[in-house]
């Protein structure tokens, strides 16, 4: 069995932003799913890597991308 590390990031908010966040989460080692109901969207991003340092780097980059979107 290969050792692995997993981080789950969840976001809820406006449907219009949901697809933007989904696009930002479309990167290697990330599995993103977006669900929508009424005016709300819920995004779940699972980040998996065998290296803890690589996982941290990926999550850091993802959070920076999300912060950039939020700041627009």
5-50: per-residue pLDDT in tens? Answer: 999 999 999 998 999 999 999 999 999 999 999 889 999 999 999 9
Sequence-separated (6 or more) residues with CB below 8 Å from residue 31: 45, 46, 48
Strand order in the sheet with 40-49: 5-14, 40-49, 30-37
Phi, psi of 30 (to 5 degrees): -120, 135
| Mean pLDDT computed over every residue of the chain | 94
- pTM value is 0.90
What does the pLDDT look like over 40-55, one tens digit per residue? 999 999 999 999 999 9
pLDDT of res. 1: 55
Domain count, the chain: 1
Report the CATH number at residue 14: 3.30.70
Question: Which residue range is the domain that position 29 belongs to?
Answer: 5-71
pLDDT of res. 34: 98
């Amino acid at each position: 069995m290969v050792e692995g590390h997993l981080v789950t990031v969840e976001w809820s908010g406006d449907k219009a932003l949901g697809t933007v966040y989904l696009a930002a989460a479309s990167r290697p080692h990330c599995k993103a799913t977006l669900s929508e109901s009424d005016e709300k969207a819920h995004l779940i991003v699972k980040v998996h890597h065998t290296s803890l340092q690589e996982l941290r780097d990926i999550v850091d980059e993802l959070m920076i991308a999300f912060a950039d979107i939020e700041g627009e």
